[in-house]
Structure 1
């Protein structure tokens, strides 16, 4: 984060942490540094139960080494070397007193990326001890399987072994041994072809399941966030070496859905450890949402915080052979490209469902004295298509390559240059990785790189549309619909209650928090009987209008009356008897800002709460006596009408189902709402 921002507050904080840790290390006097005693390593080396002490040591070493390599903190490098001397001696003693087999047996406990950080350290120090110790953490029993290209990772603990592969990739970087380059490529192919979900994440209950059998694994404990974090490292290395589009596409998918997806809303620091995948999942119900003592502290909060601090580290890749720059992620950002001698500014227009294009604009600020030409390579993602795609520079059209290729533009860039790229975004389905015939209909829905989740507590049956066309069964929600969303509330005692759709019936519920199922259920879309009334400047314009109420999370359904002194229902289609029509009138209680909902077919009958109620009490259609001035009735039939408690995300769709329709939005946008990301899509 500091390397991206050079924020002085961050600089002071990180320097203070290094100094405090150094004081601890000096006080202990052996080079050892951890929050737990060294006796845990005695148990580790004796093959006794102990939770992953090297995992934590790796985090400390990696953080300190980053302080040196990114922030030039020489004190941090001294601390790392002293720590590594300590552990070099420990490992040497195990091998000398027992055997190297004893050491390798101990590595069946999670050790994080010890080999990775040690290879990085060797690249700095050239100390042979650091290279030897790195080799000793390479775990040959796992890397050997990959070396002979045996697709046999099922049953392995995912986040124990992905960092080992990242370390093997660093071994290739440091030593040039091509075997370790091939190991990384084969591993990536195995995970992507057989063990990854539509999010780009992997693992179930922290382990790899049987290959291409993922339909049986959808549950709460899917997709450990640490595995996604580490798979991004694997793909990043592979793209750097090969420039292959598949790795850039994977990075975008996993970053957009697997990393951003572990947010619970937009509040900072609220993340989950597992990303559930079963129908009716919720981030709030993730078993590790707030975590266990071990995994969630390091894996969720360590990995989660780090992931969100470096969202910009793989947007641009520099070509070493010649002044060239690969732009593989379309994220609004600026780059001080030193070898290209320009400041590059990337602006990405907000993506919406009703305008299916990604639009990118690049502008340039050359540095004084710039005389060289350079090449920009712009990624044309595999998920787009050529129809409607355009690229221009200063309004001059450029020939576009096919999706899955790079658009390369070479010139001496000037401040007058403006390069624009417009590429179509379309809906597509992607079958779950399961080769059994009975699961062929289980598919995820994506809009460009965005994985869409349906608001549902478990329903998952969708229709594919005529000719299996998604355009027939999934339609975008216009942004203007947000202006039609309302919620109805009443005060009772010291509490606020809202009109809500609960299990297809209408009741009064306590005012919910945003980002919850209850918030969705307390939001309705106003549909006007007279289409000319749909554009309103204020809620006062609704008074006197005849409307229908569509539950926010049940598009296409309507609130309907079931008769005098009876409750209300929610049905997929209303009859032509007017039972779905209500007239919005000024509140019967006579207060400014309240409204009452009068039946469109029974004059003098209103939506009535009963006033003194408990949460969950059903609503009914109640009729007012023509002669009495019943204050209690007037109060129970009057509501404050406000903007909807929930709003449509800019990327929102309606998908047709056999019994109900589904509101779709990007998985990353959800907080605690129930969702489904895999649907049973029927012809």
Structure 2
């Protein structure tokens, strides 16, 4: 196993990462703790002290108010551990002291011993009885409070936080111990955060197996059983409800050695990353998992909820500790950490406010689109979404995965300006780099570095020709992409390791459509700057036109839709509309199996209503079609007219006319492909259920396309011929 370094052992130096940390620190020092305490004090029948209530998800009437305070406790504690910030320490200890007064007033408030929340305990009774209808997710908020108290105890050393943590966890134990297994599993159908994770952490922290037993009550069989069998049943599930459970499974494996837990966590990661993850490393659309591999079909404004990505990064860390030879884990970690999380924060905001979703729709824009609580960037007091809370945590622990160690072996996972103080060995490692703008990083070791030991350096899967040098001399070691290069030597203080990871443009195709792809340069997803221009579809990119235009920045140009567009790192795409996914220019011809003729548009019309017909394959543009993924279906967009294939008046009748029309999202524009196993497909209309066919089974040039029943005739089958 690999071991992480403590937060205080790694610090960031000048970089975008440090800028993000500093902006979050500004907000953490600014926020009024008394306002954050309002709902706790009111619920536990204490004076609110004249403080104003907060808004958004922490408003006094919001169902699961007081979830965010646990995030604040964690973020304050982490920033104190990282930087020694005493303002953050004092805010954390003040909140803990005031929450202790709330917890101590439970009898007067009519609550049971140990309870601590911003809403009545009766919500838990309703949850247990299956009658909770107010939208609350009670254990979700309790998880945040437990985790925050645990972090204040661990990082600040607060015994008051420890005692409150034991009291609240004891309340959870008493509450859940009286439920049958069937009642408990029914209750787990309501989101409960990472209760299994935090209670396992408490068991590990104290050595008391009581808490592990409570944690295991939160093992959700409906989710765990399919994953243990490596089955992908994520479609339709609320995404961020699931990922914390997977983290808990990884920690339960560490605590118990039960391999089923390890399998659940590993399979969940493999399934999510392999089949449900966008190029930037995020997952989900409208907070939910969709069918496996339908990436291009869901390029919407509400993709990539930030909480999911934060939690996937945590899961990745957990799995890496178990399997530190698996470089793919940190290939993914870097992708999500660099492309989504660094850009989640608004660099123009001194308080470092963040997005809830990261839009991947054509012409998307950070800060514009669906949002909770009245704003697309979080605000000081008016939002308090889940993603604002996890954002506070994320940007106060950006350094926690740069380095690991396995006994005396140092593992270098990420390439960021930083200083590692390996206190136990009396050694310092200073990393200096402008990566990913450059492809090189240096690591200088100083202090008590004597003796022979190994440095293991991640060689990303996207590179080729990587080299590792020591004091300017290239070392004869294996640097295979997608692995770790091991540099073992007798070290001297001042030795400098230089790692070069050549970068190149690679198109990352969507799982469900090879003709829709994102542009990557090394680890960086590049996006197109479209200013304030609107886009309705992915721009048609000439991939051979991509050129880097600067050696000092990641500035590129390309030709898309016949015009030049500027490209840059997606994490820097702020203040303009962007394109992340592109139509890479491939089109197809639809050749009828009966006639051998290809589908086109009458008189090469570009207007709505142009009729589809069959014609000789003469190479005209109206014979070319783009297959645009749309969930589990496709839309056929004519390369000449830009219109999509549909059915006249959305008819469901036999022999209804097939024509082109503006892409207005009607169901008759969607078609499913049924592979016949002989190189042909039946193309079924989603609205009518009828097949794309030819009038009267005609083999004549100019015969019109219609929809027809599945009668087994050859004109119902089509060959998809790629251009």
TM over 0.5: yes
Specify the alignment match of 1:178 in structure 2: 259
Deviation at 1:477, TM superposition (A): 2.2
1:598-648 superposed Cα distances (whole Å, 9 cap, x missing partner) = xxxxxxxxxxxxxxxxxxxxxxxxxxxxxxxxxxxxxxxxxxxxxxxxxxx
1:352-395 superposed Cα distances (whole Å, 9 cap, x missing partner) = 3xxxx41111112214xx64432111111111111xx4322112
Which of 456, 460, 472 is equivalent to 1:381? 460
Matched residues in 2 for 1:67 and 1:179: separation?
32
Matched-pair contact (CA < 8 Å) for 1:462–1:655 = no
Question: Given the alignment of the two structures, is residue 677 of structure 1 paired with residue 584 of structure 2, yes or no?
Answer: no
Specify the alignment match of 2:528 in structure 1: 454
Question: Given the alignment of the two structures, is residue 313 of structure 1 paired with residue 400 of structure 2, yes or no?
Answer: yes
Specify the alignment match of 2:68 in structure 1: none
Which of 655, 663, 674 is equivalent to 2:558? 655
Deviation at 1:402, TM superposition (A): 1.6
Matched residues in 2 for 1:128 and 1:295: separation?
41
SS at 1:91 equivalent: helix
SS at 1:271 equivalent: coil
Deviation at 1:290, TM superposition (A): 4.1
Specify the alignment match of 2:443 in structure 1: 362
Which of 191, 215, 219 is equivalent to 1:138? 219
Specify the alignment match of 1:252 in structure 2: 334
Which of 427, 434, 439 is equivalent to 2:505? 427
Matched-pair contact (CA < 8 Å) for 2:343–2:572 = yes
1:88-125 superposed Cα distances (whole Å, 9 cap, x missing partner) = 111123x1xxx322221121111100000001111133
Matched residues in 1 for 2:87 and 2:328: separation?
38
Which of 377, 390, 398 is equivalent to 1:303? 390
Which of 562, 571, 581 is equivalent to 1:668? 571
1:289-338 superposed Cα distances (whole Å, 9 cap, x missing partner) = 24699996241210011111110000001103xx1110000011001113
Specify the alignment match of 2:709 in structure 1: none
Matched residues in 2 for 1:390 and 1:15: separation?
48
Matched residues in 2 for 1:416 and 1:260: separation?
32
SS at 2:494 equivalent: coil
Q: Which one has the largest radius of gyration? A: 1
SS at 2:563 equivalent: coil
What aligned pairs does 1:5-20 form with structure 2 within 5 A after superposition?
5-20=83-98
Which of 269, 288, 310 is equivalent to 1:229? 310
SS at 1:665 equivalent: strand
Matched residues in 1 for 2:347 and 2:507: separation?
25
Q: Which moved more, 1:298-307 or 1:42-51?
A: 42-51
Deviation at 1:440, TM superposition (A): 2.0
Compared CA separation, residues 672 and 106, structure 1 to 2 (3 A): farther
Specify the alignment match of 2:99 in structure 1: 21
Matched-pair contact (CA < 8 Å) for 1:454–1:665 = yes
Question: Given the alignment of the two structures, is residue 276 of structure 1 paired with residue 359 of structure 2, yes or no?
Answer: yes
1:50-74 superposed Cα distances (whole Å, 9 cap, x missing partner) = 3212111111100111112222222
Which of 131, 137, 145 is equivalent to 1:60? 145
SS at 1:379 equivalent: strand
Matched-pair contact (CA < 8 Å) for 1:120–1:170 = yes
Which segments of 5 or more consecutive residues in structure 2 lack a partner in the other structure?
Answer: 1-78, 108-112, 587-723
Deviation at 1:264, TM superposition (A): 2.6
Specify the alignment match of 1:77 in structure 2: 162
Matched-pair contact (CA < 8 Å) for 2:557–2:565 = yes
SS at 2:352 equivalent: coil
Question: Given the alignment of the two structures, is residue 398 of structure 1 paired with residue 475 of structure 2, yes or no?
Answer: yes
Question: Given the alignment of the two structures, is residue 3 of structure 1 paired with residue 81 of structure 2, yes or no?
Answer: yes
Compared CA separation, residues 462 and 655, structure 1 to 2 (3 A): farther
Matched residues in 2 for 1:233 and 1:193: separation?
17
1:639-660 superposed Cα distances (whole Å, 9 cap, x missing partner) = xxxxxxxxxxx21211112332
Matched residues in 1 for 2:581 and 2:129: separation?
45
SS at 2:125 equivalent: helix
TM-score of the two chains, using structure 1 as the length reference: 0.69
Question: Given the alignment of the two structures, is residue 41 of structure 1 paired with residue 41 of structure 2, yes or no?
Answer: no
Deviation at 1:668, TM superposition (A): 1.2
Deviation at 1:212, TM superposition (A): 1.1
Which segments of 5 or more consecutive residues in structure 1 lack a partner in the other structure?
Answer: 465-469, 481-649
SS at 1:124 equivalent: helix
Matched residues in 2 for 1:264 and 1:393: separation?
38
Matched residues in 1 for 2:308 and 2:471: separation?
43
Specify the alignment match of 2:284 in structure 1: 203
Matched-pair contact (CA < 8 Å) for 1:265–1:670 = no
Matched residues in 2 for 1:412 and 1:67: separation?
40
Matched-pair contact (CA < 8 Å) for 2:401–2:413 = yes
Matched residues in 1 for 2:498 and 2:514: separation?
40
Specify the alignment match of 1:160 in structure 2: 241
1:552-604 superposed Cα distances (whole Å, 9 cap, x missing partner) = xxxxxxxxxxxxxxxxxxxxxxxxxxxxxxxxxxxxxxxxxxxxxxxxxxxxx
Specify the alignment match of 1:623 in structure 2: none
Matched residues in 1 for 2:82 and 2:383: separation?
26
Deviation at 1:284, TM superposition (A): 2.1
Deviation at 1:479, TM superposition (A): 6.5
SS at 2:102 equivalent: helix
Matched residues in 2 for 1:258 and 1:43: separation?
38
Matched residues in 1 for 2:89 and 2:382: separation?
28
Question: Given the alignment of the two structures, is residue 348 of structure 1 paired with residue 433 of structure 2, yes or no?
Answer: yes
SS at 1:189 equivalent: helix
Matched residues in 2 for 1:257 and 1:390: separation?
25
Deviation at 1:127, TM superposition (A): 3.4
Matched residues in 2 for 1:329 and 1:60: separation?
31
Specify the alignment match of 2:652 in structure 1: none
TM-score of the two chains, using structure 2 as the length reference: 0.65
Matched-pair contact (CA < 8 Å) for 1:385–1:423 = yes
SS at 2:347 equivalent: coil
Deviation at 1:184, TM superposition (A): 1.2
1:209-228 superposed Cα distances (whole Å, 9 cap, x missing partner) = 01111222111111110000
Question: Given the alignment of the two structures, is residue 286 of structure 1 paired with residue 369 of structure 2, yes or no?
Answer: yes
Specify the alignment match of 2:419 in structure 1: 334
Matched-pair contact (CA < 8 Å) for 2:305–2:356 = yes
Deviation at 1:6, TM superposition (A): 1.8
Matched residues in 1 for 2:370 and 2:274: separation?
27
**How many residues align structurally?**
490
Which of 546, 557, 567 is equivalent to 1:474? 546
Matched-pair contact (CA < 8 Å) for 2:354–2:378 = no
Matched residues in 2 for 1:454 and 1:675: separation?
5
SS at 1:416 equivalent: coil
Deviation at 1:205, TM superposition (A): 0.9
